[in-house]
Amino acid sequence: MKKTVQELLLVDNIQLNHDNFKLVLQAPTKLPQIFPGQFVNVEIKKATEIFLRRPFSVLDVNYENNTFSLLVKILGRGSKVLTTYQSGDKISVIFPLGSSFTLPDKNDRVLLVGGGSGVAPMLFLAKICGLKPENVHVILGARSQQDHIDISAYKAFGNYYFTTEDGSLGEKGFVTHHPVFSQELSSFDKVYTCGPDLMMKAVAKEAADKNIFCEVSLENMMACGFGVCLCCVEKTKEGNKCVCTEGPVFNINKLTW
């Protein structure tokens, strides 16, 4: 898949909750195929202090309109300014970047576990994985109810469970405290996860214990996003690997976690 730098048109910027926004970007020409786990690198010009681009996973693609969307969570200066962009603004984006999750086989039962902005690739994967909804189980974790976003647009593609640290929505605790983990984990053929490192490590451990195929999508500090700077390395069993080109999706067997 050829990577390009393009000026995209921001066609929508929707606030999803107190710190999450959905940005919809339109390309002037036909979009290449983009898969869950892949990401884009966004230039944020409207801020005095931002120098490097900021990476964001793709949340969804609409090939008819040549649009794709990003789920942007306000973390620091860059993400904050990005959420103030308005429809009609042009944004320079490098895409598509990185590897995608291994799509499940036709009859797989899959568990998707997302937290924080890691929710984006999980929803995308649920939508396009092509499985029967009853075989797609998605656990989404957050600190509290107000940190969850409305996922009704994705409801049709699977079964959704929520956890919150304060118990304000769904199960109380971390994602791995959800009964799915204690009761049904062995029933899944594949586990996919994206979110905070600690969360992914906990999920990976559960999957590894039961010897279930598990892929995680790592987020780390990137300068380029397309494999030239060698800043984004993760220590793997085969030495340092670039997260932006050899990942961000890794099978947990490769990691030294």
Ligand X SMILES: Cc1cc2nc3c(=O)[nH]c(=O)nc-3n(C[C@H](O)[C@H](O)[C@H](O)COP(=O)(O)OP(=O)(O)OC[C@H]3O[C@@H](n4cnc5c(N)ncnc54)[C@H](O)[C@@H]3O)c2cc1C
Contact between 40 and ligand FES per CB under 6 A: no
- In which region does residue 116 sit, left (phi positive, over 0), alpha (psi from -120 to 50) or beta (all else)? left
Select from 1-9, 116-124, 169-177, 184-192 the region that touches another protein (CB under 8 A). 1-9
Contact between 187 and another protein per CB under 8 A: no
At 150, list the tokens.
Answer: 């409305």
Contact between 170 and ligand X per CB under 6 A: no
Contact between 47 and another protein per CB under 8 A: no
Contact between 5 and ligand FES per CB under 6 A: no
Transcribe 187-239 into DSSP letters: G-SEEEEES-HHHHHHHHHHHHHTT-EEEEE-----SSSSSSS--SEEEETTE
**DSSP assignment, residue 82?**
H
- Residue 34 vs 94, nearer CB to a copy of itself: 94
- In which region does residue 33 sit, left (phi positive, over 0), alpha (psi from -120 to 50) or beta (all else)? beta
- The least distance separating ligand FMN from the CB of residue 151, rounded to whole angstroms, comes to 38
Select from 44-52, 109-117, 190-198, 229-237 the region that touches ligand FES (CB under 6 A). 229-237
Show the site string, 81-110: x = touches another protein by CB under 8 A, - = not: -----------x-x----------------
Q: Are strands 54-62 and 67-73 parallel, antiparallel or unpaired?
A: antiparallel
Give the residues lining the site for a copy of itself (CB under 8 A): 44-48, 50-51
